[in-house]
Amino acid sequence: MRKEEIISKLPYSKPFLFVDEIVQIDENGVEGNYTFDENHDFYKGHFKECPVTPGVILTEVMAQIGLVCLGIFLLNDTLNKTASIALTSTEIDFLKPVFPNEKVIVISEKIYFRFGKLKCKVKMINEKGEMVCTGTIAGMILTPTLSKGDGAKTGLK
């Protein structure tokens, strides 16, 4: 699967797509990057005089590149249009702030992928090579179990 194909299969669109490029991907991990546009709405209020990227957004970037992109690659053609990868847990240490217009690199290493669960060790570094945040992220493959007429609940299969 081509890197551009993986990005096109992500279940996100702007302004919530936080993947610019996948640099490298294989069955053991992924490396990708994203540059934070100074015009993102969250910068308007976090913090007024000195905008900083919220930790929840940094976590989302790490999850999109380090978990979802890798999950799409690992599942390849077995991921159908109704399945999705849902975040189930994170443990992230934040070490440095990320400012508007900064480019970050996410490097993810697969810890395991079994029984529909993917767990990865992830780190984010800035262009200076400084560690921004690091930790673990896990997610599950979800498929709809009920039709929309039945309340459209989602569960594991």
Distance CA 51, CA 73 (A): 34
Let me know: does 109 contact 121? Beta carbons within 8 Å.
Answer: yes
Per-residue b or e along 3-42, where b marks 16 or more CB atoms closer than 10 Å to that residue's CB: beebbebbeeeeeeebbeebeebeeebbbbbbebeeebee
pLDDT of residue 144: 60
Task: State yes or no: pLDDT of 145 exceeds 60.
Answer: no
Q: What residues are labeled active site?
A: 46
Which of 27-41, 57-71, 75-89, 91-105 has the weakest average pLDDT? 75-89
Amino acid at 110: K
Task: State yes or no: pLDDT of 77 exceeds 80.
Answer: no
| Chain segment 6-60, per-residue pLDDT in tens | 999 998 999 999 999 999 999 999 999 999 999 999 999 888 889 999 999 999 9
Distance CA 121, CA 119 (A): 7
Question: What percent of the chain has a predicted confidence (pLDDT) above 90?
Answer: 73
Distance CA 24, CA 134 (A): 19
Task: State yes or no: pLDDT of 89 exceeds 50.
Answer: yes
Instruction: Name the pTM for this structure.
Output: 0.87
Domains of the chain with CATH codes: 3-155 (3.10.129.10)
DSSP per-residue string spanning 6-36: HHHTSS--TTS---SEEEEEETTEEEEEEE-
Task: State yes or no: pLDDT of 1 exceeds 60.
Answer: yes
